[in-house]
């Protein structure tokens, strides 16, 4: 992923854009036939250091890039390069390409995680465990359903990512204020087609930044979904709960002072990084309202968050693959479930009492009392009815239905 965001890669992508434009122009006879080939050959020869050297003087990266390109292709050819373009035509179009490359990696990592969780959902679909709301024992569920819930959420996010990435696949080669002052829309169409990008229907000097803000929002949503999973693992691993643990490798140490410790550090790490991703997304939102046909305030933001947010999210997605290697403590899961067995029957008892004709209020009272004085309920329910209340099979009757839906 870091390779996407090197200076070298950036300049090569710029060159790719300039190449597509002269190629399109050559097809239309506006540029000598040999010019595209000259640019093509320059690829791989560019030296970021030379460009940095020229930028020192010009304080303008694209002009520095063009100067260096002149060194490679000659002055004569350069008369036809960047013709009718403004810097943002090159930068923004190339930025779309770099974001596409970054997104492909993110997307692939997301699909890998999806696969891992999918496998876990199937594998553990029938492993009963106590469900918890407010951190308190509620009613039984299965471990597979937890994974299934994550899977469904991740799936929605992957679809959001697809939409947001499609919305980013737009270039613009329409000049200084986006109205084709010195270039023909047809050249833009041809060149962007070569680059497999759509034409921005109404650019200013730049591609509008709502596209980018929407994309960074989705990256942050994915991070929050990872946080949701990681947070769950942290809860499961608590000493008292001890149902699921992070993998712990041979030789790994948990604490420099307490040799007994085995901490959910991967999960804690991911929870922290989700905060970082939220912050990155917030930065992108302020880039939408630029002045007139553009100001360049968004640029410094994007130089930071485009690499940082995509690299970080990809790291998070890759790290989250540990969810496929969790250490499942079935014994403790069962113990905790049993601990709660009578407790969590309260909703069943409540319903059974109402079905026998008690009012809602009365039934609720008995069920509350039953918690401390179990005998009380036997005044109202037969042994058979009572035992049926303690049977949790019904909580698991529809697991397959849910799993199939997901």
Does 128 contact a second copy by CB under 8 A? no
> Tokens 């329910």 belong to which residue?
381
State which residue, 102 or 366, has the beta carbon closest to a second copy.
366
Least distance in Å: CB of 287 to a second copy? 7
What sign does the CA torsion over 293, 17, 34, 43 have? positive
Question: What is the C-alpha to C-alpha distance for residues 25 and 35, in angstroms, rounded to an integer?
Answer: 10
Choosing from 272, 327, 331, 382, the residue that interacts with a second copy (CB under 8 A) is 272
Q: Are 9 and 98 in contact (CB under 8 A)?
A: yes
What part of residues 69-88 is at the interface with a second copy (CB under 8 A)?
70, 75, 78-79, 81-87
Q: Are 332 and 242 in contact (CB under 8 A)?
A: yes
**Which two tokens mark 285?**
């939102």
Q: Considering only 14-22, 105-113, 138-146, 380-388, which stretch makes contact with a second copy by CB under 8 A?
A: 138-146
Q: Considering only 5-13, 18-26, 294-302, 373-381, which stretch makes contact with a second copy by CB under 8 A?
A: 294-302
What part of residues 377-396 is at the interface with a second copy (CB under 8 A)?
392, 394-396
Does 26 contact a second copy by CB under 8 A? no
Least distance in Å: CB of 37 to a second copy? 19
State which residue, 78 or 102, has the beta carbon closest to a second copy.
78
Give the SS3 label for residue 129. strand
Q: Which helix (H) or strand (E) holds 244?
A: strand 244-245
Does 257 contact a second copy by CB under 8 A? yes
Size of the site for a second copy (CB under 8 A): 166
Does 68 contact a second copy by CB under 8 A? no
Is residue 255 part of the annotated active site? The answer reads: yes
Q: Are 129 and 328 in contact (CB under 8 A)?
A: no
Does 292 contact a second copy by CB under 8 A? yes
Choosing from 7, 47, 57, 166, the residue that interacts with a second copy (CB under 8 A) is 57
Q: Which helix (H) or strand (E) holds 136?
A: strand 136-142
What part of residues 318-377 is at the interface with a second copy (CB under 8 A)?
336, 339-340, 343-344, 346-351, 354-355, 357-361, 364, 367-368, 370-371
Per the residue annotation, which of 87, 107, 118, 134 is the catalytic one?
A: 134
Instruction: Tell me the C-alpha to C-alpha distance, in Å, between residue 191 and each of 119, 175, 317, 335.
Output: 43, 14, 34, 65
Q: Site mask, a second copy, residues 156-175, x = CB under 8 A? A: xx--x--x---x-------x
Choosing from 94, 99, 211, 337, the residue that interacts with a second copy (CB under 8 A) is 211
Per the residue annotation, which of 220, 239, 249, 255 is the catalytic one?
A: 255
**Which two tokens mark 256?**
């420099």
Question: What is the C-alpha to C-alpha distance for residues 47 and 78, in angstroms, rounded to an integer?
Answer: 17
Number of H helices, E strands in the chain: 17, 6
State the DSSP code for 4.
Answer: G
Does 314 contact a second copy by CB under 8 A? no
What sign does the CA torsion over 370, 375, 377, 383 have? positive
Is residue 134 part of the annotated active site? The answer reads: yes
Residues classed as catalytic: 134, 255
């Amino acid at each position: 992923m870091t390779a996407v965001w090197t200076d070298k890669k950036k300049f090569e992508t710029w060159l790719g854009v300039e190449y597509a434009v002269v190629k399109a122009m050559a097809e239309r006879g506006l540029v000598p036939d040999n010019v595209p080939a000259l640019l093509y050959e320059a690829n791989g020869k560019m030296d970021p250091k030379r460009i940095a050297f020229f930028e020192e003087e010009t304080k303008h990266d694209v002009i520095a890039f063009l100067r260096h390109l002149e060194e490679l292709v000659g002055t004569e050819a350069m008369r036809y390069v960047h013709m009718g373009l403004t810097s943002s035509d090159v930068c923004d179009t190339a930025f779309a390409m770099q974001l596409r490359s970054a997104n492909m990696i993110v997307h692939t990592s997301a699909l890998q995680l999806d696969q891992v969780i999918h496998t876990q959902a199937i594998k553990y679909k029938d492993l009963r465990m106590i469900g918890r709301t407010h951190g308190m024992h509620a009613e039984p569920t299965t471990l597979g359903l937890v994974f299934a819930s994550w899977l469904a959420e991740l799936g929605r996010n992957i679809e959001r990512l697809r939409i947001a990435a499609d919305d980013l696949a737009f270039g613009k080669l329409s000049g200084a204020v986006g109205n084709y002052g010195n270039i023909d829309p047809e050249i833009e169409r041809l060149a962007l087609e070569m680059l497999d990008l759509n034409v921005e229907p109404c650019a200013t000097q730049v591609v509008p930044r709502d596209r980018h803000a929407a994309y960074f929002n989705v990256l942050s949503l994915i991070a929050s979904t990872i946080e949701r999973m990681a947070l769950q693992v942290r809860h499961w691993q608590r000493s008292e709960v001890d149902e699921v643990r992070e993998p712990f490798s041979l030789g790994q140490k948990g604490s420099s002072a307490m040799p007994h410790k085995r901490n959910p550090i991967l999960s804690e790490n991911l929870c922290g990084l989700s905060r970082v991703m939220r912050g990155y997304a917030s930065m992108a939102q302020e880039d939408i309202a630029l002045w007139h046909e553009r100001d360049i305030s968004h640029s410094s933001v994007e130089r930071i968050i485009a690499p940082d947010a995509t690299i970080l999210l990809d790291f998070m997605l890759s790290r989250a693959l540990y969810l496929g290697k969790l250490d499942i403590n079935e014994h403790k899961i069962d113990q905790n479930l049993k601990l709660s067995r009578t407790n969590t029957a309260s909703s069943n008892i409540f319903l059974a009492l109402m079905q026998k004709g008690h009012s809602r209020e009365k039934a609720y009272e008995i069920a509350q009392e039953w918690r401390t004085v179990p005998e009380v309920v036997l005044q109202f329910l037969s042994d058979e009815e009572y035992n049926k209340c303690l049977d949790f099979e019904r909580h698991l009757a529809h697991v397959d239905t849910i799993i199939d839906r997901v």
